[in-house]
Amino acid sequence: MCLLVMTVYFPITHPASANGATEPDIEELSLQPEDVGWSQLELGASRLGLSVSVDISLQHLQDATASHNLAASDQGKPVSAHRGDVMLMVFHAVSLGKELETSLWFDGRNAAALQRIRHVKPVAMNVLKSTVTPIVDCLQSGRNRVLMRSASR
Amino acid sequence: MIYIVSVLELQNPGDQVELLAYFDDRLHIVTIELEGLESVETDFKLRQGDISKKVRGRR
């Protein structure tokens, strides 16, 4: 259910032009966070005595809240978001005696991942284990963007 | 993916977006393409503010 999407530069090359250089046929993906038509989804299913339920919530964060939420990294400079466009999506799943909660911060303009925190909790034992994963900008400058190719057939 | 699909403006069959996604310790090329519209059986509850209603049937 939860994929960590780290959107990066995606060169789609065309044959060499007259001067021998190849040029990518790309457009930068520009999403509009205000176009999202939902803030919470609840999904559930059961079969043969096994059941799974997933709650998904989506928030558009204030800048102050976003900067407070995002962890610093000693492994490099974290990917930054467009100002005012940090989104927080929280997945809460219950299945097979475990609760799994995944919080994912991302840039609402291009869906670039910023940080993920996962909590795994056995329902019966109430033991909590969590990991924090800041997304580190290990790519070249300017390549942490989502690019999109539109094609109509 | 849920978020991207929510805000993409794919309107005609064949419209698509290609992007890279990182999961399972590797990069994947993901293509999202609108193949067409079809109706499906639905059974869900719709909440808008304080209003909640059951939605069931083919949509």
pLDDT for A108-123, tens place per residue? 998 888 888 998 887 6
> How close is the nearest chain A Cα to the Cα of B36, in Å?
12
- How far apart are alpha carbons A138 and A119 in whole angstroms? 25
- How far apart are alpha carbons A38 and B48 in whole angstroms? 9
DSSP 8-state secondary structure symbol assigned to residue A35: G
Task: Give chain A's domain count.
Answer: 1
A8, pLDDT greater than 60: no
Percent of chain A with pLDDT over 90: 16
pLDDT at A19: 56
DSSP 8-state secondary structure symbol assigned to residue A149: -
Whether A141 is covered by a domain: the verdict is no
pLDDT digits (tens, 9 = 90+) for A33-45: 888 888 888 888 8
By residue range, what is the domain housing residue A112? 33-136
For the ranges A88-92, A95-99, A124-128, the lowest mean pLDDT is seen at: A124-128
For the ranges A5-9, A53-57, A86-90, the lowest mean pLDDT is seen at: A5-9
If DSSP codes are grouped into helix, strand and coil, which group holds residue A106?
Answer: strand
Are the beta carbons of B19 and A33 separated by less than 8 Å? no
pLDDT at A143: 38
For chains A and B, CB pairs below 8 A equal: 74
Going from N- to C-terminal start, the domains of chain B cover 2-58
Residue of A nearest to B23 (CA): A4
Are the beta carbons of B7 and A40 separated by less than 8 Å? no
A102, pLDDT greater than 60: yes
pLDDT at A93: 92
A49, pLDDT greater than 50: yes
Q: Which segments of chain A are extended strands (E)?
A: 27-28, 40-47, 50-60, 86-95, 98-107, 113-122, 129-134, 147-148
Residue A90 near chain B (CB below 8 Å): no
- Which residue did the predictor score with more confidence, A94 or A26? A94
Are the beta carbons of A150 and B16 separated by less than 8 Å? yes
Residue A26 near chain B (CB below 8 Å): no
Chain A interface mutation, best of B6, B29, B42, B52, highest count of A Cβ atoms under 10 Å: B6
Whether A99 is covered by a domain: the verdict is yes
- Which residue did the predictor score with more confidence, A137 or A65? A65
